[in-house]
Copies of this chain bind each other. A is one copy, B any other.
């Protein structure tokens, strides 16, 4: 743990600053009904907060700062509720197609892992212009490290207990295929403890019926990632004891990457800073293992 009481890893890159300010602009425009004065007020408040950034600060922490400023200014504490419901209706249309892919697959565990990563395309923070229809229709199986997927499959087959750290709400419909493949294991699905961006909350998980396949717990996180300094005791215990931890999405990657315990990070690369850090180009599907020497 460093002097700033952060235990974080993908340091805030100067390149991230225009990007988060742009994220703030998009949020401001989305929730202010064209009120440019209010947009300017929000952006000024966001820029004022840039001073708190230091070299061990991550983008998901700053996204939470942005969201608090927008919430306060537009007097709405569940900003993305409507957008999430709109997105999920779109995703639901593709469930039969994904179901067919699962039925046709020879290796159903592998197929469900690929579908779970594909779901990470959905992101209103880093990349609001995702086109899930296009992603699903142009989805191929070529896009993964075969070594890592074999290792992950082996780890999952041998695991008794699994912690699955969820990411976005809509994405969880894709995660369900993998959760179903793992339903004989002791799987815990962790969600955020407040609505942040389009991330999944406890109520969201219940709405999608995830509680019928896995245990669902709140992580304690109120940012679009997982900062262990702010997680619940229950989550930390599970994080430390699970045979396998799966972390979905870029925000969880940014905040958990340097943790000592082995973690499988499943995500789509959405920006240059993460492309550089993960050595995978923007748009690629990643299975990133942070501890290649660990046994699991």
Contacts and interface: CB of A to CB of B under 8 A. Distances in A.
B18 A14 contact: no
A25 interface: yes
Nearest to A32: B14
A40 interface: yes
A43 B50 contact: yes
Main secondary structure on A side of the interface with B = helix
A271 to B, nearest CB: 13
A44 B51 contact: yes
Given A44-B51, A50-B47, A17 B25 contact: yes
Interface residues of A, number: 24
A22 interface: yes
Interface string A6-40: 00000011110110011011001100000011011
A48 B40 CA distance: 14
Contact of A36 (B14, B18, B36): B14
A55 interface: yes
A36 B50 CA distance: 15
Contacts of A29: 14
A231 interface: no
Given A47-B47, A47-B50, A50-B43, A18 B25 contact: yes
A110 to B, nearest CB: 39
Residue in A13, A15, A17, A51 whose Cβ sees the most chain B Cβ within 10 Å: A17
A53 interface: yes
Interface of A: 12-15, 17-18, 21-22, 24-25, 28-29, 36-37, 39-40, 43-44, 47-48, 50-51, 53, 55
Contacts of A22: 18
A46 B51 CA distance: 10
Nearest to A49: B47
Contact of A15 (B15, B17, B25): B25
A47 B12 CA distance: 15
A6 to B, nearest CB: 15
A69 to B, nearest CB: 13
Contact of A51 (B12, B14, B36, B48): B48
Contacts of A25: 14-15, 17-18
Residue in A18, A29, A53 whose Cβ sees the most chain B Cβ within 10 Å: A18
